[in-house]
Chains A and B, each alone.
Chain A
Amino acid sequence: MFAYIIKRLIYAIPIALSVTVVSFVLVYLAPGDPLNAIAPADAPEEVIVALKSAYGLDKPVPVQYGLWLLRAVQGDLGTSIASGRAVTAEVLSAVSNTLLLAGMAALGGVLIGCILGALAGYRHGTWIDRVATVISVIGVSIPHYWLGLVLTIVFSIWLPWFPAMGAGPGGSSEWLWDVEHLRHLVLPALTLSVIPMGIITRTVRALVADMLEQEFVTALRARGLSGVAVFRHIAKNTAPTVLAVAGLQIGYLMGGSILVETVFAWPGTGFLLNTAIFQRDIPLLQGTILVLCMFFVVLNLLVDILQPLIDPRMGRG
Chain B
Amino acid sequence: MSASLELSLPAASVAAPAPQPSRSYWLVVWRQLRRDPMALAAGGVLLLIVGAAVFAPWLAPADPYKASMIKRLLPIGSPGFLLGTDELGRDMLSRLMHGGRLSLLMGVVPVLAAFGIGTTIGLLAGYIGGKVNMVIMRVLDVFYAFPSVLLAVAISGALGPGMSNSLLALTLVFVPQVVRVAESVTTQVRQLDYIEAARMSGASAFSIIRVHVLGNVLGPVFVYATGLLSVSMILASGLSFLGLGVKPPEPEWGLMLNTLRSAIYVNPWIAALPGALIFVTSIAFNLLADSVRSAMDIRR
Contacts and interface: CB of A to CB of B under 8 A. Distances in A.
Interface string A19-31: 1001100110111
B132 interface: no
Interface in A271-317: 273-274, 276-278, 285, 289, 292-293, 296-297, 300
Nearest to A199: B2
A259 B287 contact: no
Nearest to B157: A277
A202 B154 CA distance: 29
B186 interface: no
Interface stretch (B52-60, B81-89, B209-217, B233-241): B233-241
Interface residues of A, number: 56
A296 B286 CA distance: 26
B147 A296 contact: yes
Given A29-B158, A254-B147, A273 B282 contact: no
Contact of B268 (A18, A153, A285): A153
Nearest to B4: A248
A89 interface: no
B282 A203 contact: no
Interface in B271-295: 271-272, 274-276, 278-279, 282-283, 285-287, 290
B109 interface: no
A153 B264 contact: yes
Given A141-B286, A285-B158, A293-B146, A150 B272 contact: yes
Contact of A255 (B2, B146, B155): B146
B34 to A, nearest CB: 21
Nearest to A27: B158
B208 interface: no
Contact of A292 (B150, B160, B268, B286): B150
Interface string B141-154: 11001111111011
A143 B282 contact: yes
B287 A137 contact: yes
Nearest to A277: B157
B143 to A, nearest CB: 8
Interface in B147-206: 147-151, 153-155, 157-160
- Residue with the highest number of chain B CB atoms closer than 10 Å, among A23, A29, A255: A255
A273 B154 CA distance: 8
B15 interface: no
Interface in A258-277: 258-259, 262-263, 273-274, 276-277
B261 A254 contact: no
Contact of A289 (B138, B141, B154, B272): B154
Contacts of A19: 142, 145-146
A19 B151 CA distance: 11
Interface in B246-283: 254, 257, 261, 264-265, 268, 271-272, 274-276, 278-279, 282-283
Contact of B272 (A146, A278, A297): A146
Contacts of B94: none
Contacts of B285: 141
A30 to B, nearest CB: 5
A102 B282 CA distance: 23
B5 interface: yes
Contacts of B286: 137, 140-141
A256 B141 contact: no
Contacts of A82: none
B278 A143 contact: yes
10 contacts: A18-B145, A141-B285, A144-B234, A146-B275, A195-B1, A251-B147, A252-B148, A255-B151, A277-B153, A285-B154
Given A31-B159, A143-B238, 11 more contacts: A30-B160, A137-B283, A143-B237, A145-B238, A146-B257, A146-B272, A146-B274, A256-B1, A259-B242, A276-B157, A292-B150
Interface of B: 1-2, 4-5, 138, 141-142, 145-151, 153-155, 157-160, 230, 234, 237-238, 241-244, 254, 257, 261, 264-265, 268, 271-272, 274-276, 278-279, 282-283, 285-287, 290
The 9 closest A-B pairs by CB, nearest first: A146-B275, A255-B147, A255-B150, A277-B157, A18-B142, A140-B2, A141-B283, A153-B268, A255-B149
